[in-house]
Amino acid sequence: MEEAQGQRRRRFGGAPDRGKPTVKQIYALAGALCERCGEKFPETLAAASELIERLRNENGGGGATRSG
């Protein structure tokens, strides 16, 4: 299904997409990115923290911060 240029996608209920991604979307995105770079999705809080720190360091130490 192609959308007209400039038309926003709509959710199942018909409301336009607005706001932040859902938790489910964040997990799906994280899983896809882990798969893409050959990393195992972390199973624990500690493993997630270690993976985040390692990946941030490998990416130049920057790292995203939580906003607003």
pLDDT in tens, 5-63: 455 555 566 566 789 999 999 999 999 999 999 999 999 999 999 999 999 999 997 65
Is 48 part of any domain?
yes
Is 47 part of any domain?
yes
Q: How far is CA 38 from the centre of its chain?
A: 16
Task: Tell me the residue range of the domain where 51 lies.
Answer: 23-58
Q: How far is CA 43 from the centre of its chain?
A: 17
pTM score above 0.75: no
CB of 17 closer than 8 Å to CB of 9: yes
Is 67 part of any domain?
no
* Domains: count for the chain: 1
